[in-house]
Amino acid sequence: MNHEGTKTPRTSRRFLPWCLGVLVVILPSFADNPAPPRDWQFIVIHHSATRTGNAEILDGAHRARGMINGLAYHFVIDNGTDGKADGLIETGPRWVKQMHGGHCRQACINEHGIGICLVGNFSRDEPTEKQLESLVLLVRGLQEQFHIVDDHILGHGEVIGEFSECPGHVFPWEKFRERLKQAGGAGVRARTQ
C-alpha cells in the first residue's frame, strides 16, 4: 500500500529498484501480474527514427504493421514530445510479462535481448541529455540485475543479420559508453554463475 491507501504495483519495486530519481511509467493494464524474470543476455538499443512519439504511439504503429503483441520493445525512453517528459522511461507490456522482444529479425536476440527504444531520429540528431542519462541508468541497472556483459550491449544495426543503421549514425556511442563506465565502475566484464 502506498501513502494514499491504494495498492502499489509490484512491478516497479521488483524489476526496477535501481531507477531511483527517474520517473518510470509502467503501462497500467499490465502492471498487476508481473512474470518471473527471464535469462536476459543482451541489451539492444534502438531509435524510433521519428522526431516525436511515445510507447502508446509506437504500440499503435507496431499493431498496424501486424504485430499482434504490439510494442516490440521492452522499454521506451521519451524525448519530451507527445505529452511525455524528456527522459521518461516507459515500461512496455513485454517487460512486465517477460515476453520475448519483437525488435530484431534474429529470433535468438528477440528471445534473449532486452529492447530499448529512444524516441528520436539519431540519423539526424543526438538523443537529449535526459534521454542519455535515463539510458545509462536503465542499462546499468539491467546489467547488474541480469549480469549482462558490456560486449552484449548492442545497437540494433550491430546485430549480425540486421541491415539497419539503427540507432542512427549520430548516436553518441563513445559518450554513452564513457557514462556507462562512470555509472558503474568498470562495468560488467564477465558473466557470473
Q: How far apart are CA 35 and CA 98, in angstroms?
A: 6
Evaluate whether residue 108 is within a structural domain: yes
Evaluate whether residue 4 is within a structural domain: no
Evaluate whether residue 27 is within a structural domain: no
User: Considering its fold, how many domains does the chain have in total?
Assistant: 1
Listed in order, strand segments (DSSP E) in the chain are 24-26, 42-47, 75-79, 86-91, 113-118, 153-155
What domain range includes position 173? 41-183
Evaluate whether residue 6 is within a structural domain: no
At residue 30, what are phi and psi to the nearest 5 degrees? -115, 0
Evaluate whether residue 18 is within a structural domain: no
Better-predicted residue by pLDDT, 7 or 92: 92
Listed in order, strand segments (DSSP E) in 57-96 are 75-79, 86-91
Residue 110: the pLDDT is 84
102 confidence band (pLDDT: 50, 70, 90): confident
Among 23-32, 126-135, 160-169, the range scoring the smallest mean pLDDT is 23-32
- Strands 153-155 and 113-118, sheet pairing: unpaired
Evaluate whether residue 149 is within a structural domain: yes
Average pLDDT value for residue range 182-192: 57
Evaluate whether residue 148 is within a structural domain: yes
Among 20-34, 46-60, 145-159, 173-187, the range scoring the smallest mean pLDDT is 20-34
Residue 7: the pLDDT is 36
Q: How far apart are CA 171 and CA 161, in angstroms?
A: 20
